[in-house]
Amino acid sequence: MDKLLFLFHRKDGLTREEFFEHYLDVHAPLGMRLTVTMDGYTVNLVDTDTEGDAAPDAVTEIWTESWADFFDPGKSFATPDDAQELMADHDSFIGPYDTYLVEERVVRGSGAAPDGVKRIACYVEGDAVPLRGVFIRAPWIEEAGPDVEILAEHDGHPVLARQGRILVAAFHPELTDDTRVHERFLHVVEEVAHVRA
């Protein structure tokens, strides 16, 4: 499995909020729907706004069976129209970017299956139905400070936690139909927005 890192800067004229909103609400769902060579997809939004163009606005991780196939529109998309649709959207909000093919070395992992993917069920405090999660070579939380709220565990290890406005997961909630982690994240955003208002 190949892993690609993309360091994206927003297009001139866009605010960070506009860039984030378009990426998460439009581009990411479009990419998941149209790209057939993508086995894993994580969008990491950069939390700090830096003057100039030193820091990217998003760091995106993509897992694929073949990086060469991923970059070949004839193999990465079902039709030329699909490729054109995704690239037109890409060009509408993404400015300069860097791409890296990386070799991921897991220092501490979850004991995932040899293919690096492990589907788990864990209980979130207060929920009667287990939360389904997908681990992709993901570490668990080894230890947490006194201000960290552990929200879910698997096999005795924390896998979902919150500290103030920061919510972290050791699994990929976007790879299931269960929206509870996303709903919890939106609740955190609403709390922060209410405090700032």
Residues 124, 91 share a domain: no
Note the pLDDT tens digit of each residue in 76-106: 999 999 999 999 999 999 999 899 988 766 5
Cα-based angle 115, 1, 54 (whole degrees, multiple of 5): 125
Residue 69, domain CATH? 3.30.70.100
What is the average per-residue pLDDT within 3-16?
Answer: 91
Report the pLDDT value the prediction gives residue 113, as an integer from 0 to 100.
41
Q: Is residue 125 part of a domain?
A: yes
CA 132/CA 18 separation, integer angstroms: 31
Residues 78, 40 share a domain: yes
Domain count of the chain?
Answer: 2
Domain final residue, candidates 72, 102, 132: 102
Whether pTM > 0.85 for this model: the answer is no
Residues 7, 93 share a domain: yes
Q: Is residue 174 part of a domain?
A: yes
Q: Is residue 111 part of a domain?
A: no
Q: pLDDT exceeding 90 applies to what percent of the chain?
A: 26
Q: Which domain holds residue 144?
A: 117-196
| CB proximity list for 32: less than 8 A, separation 6 or greater | 38, 41
Cβ–Cβ < 8 Å for 90, 31: no
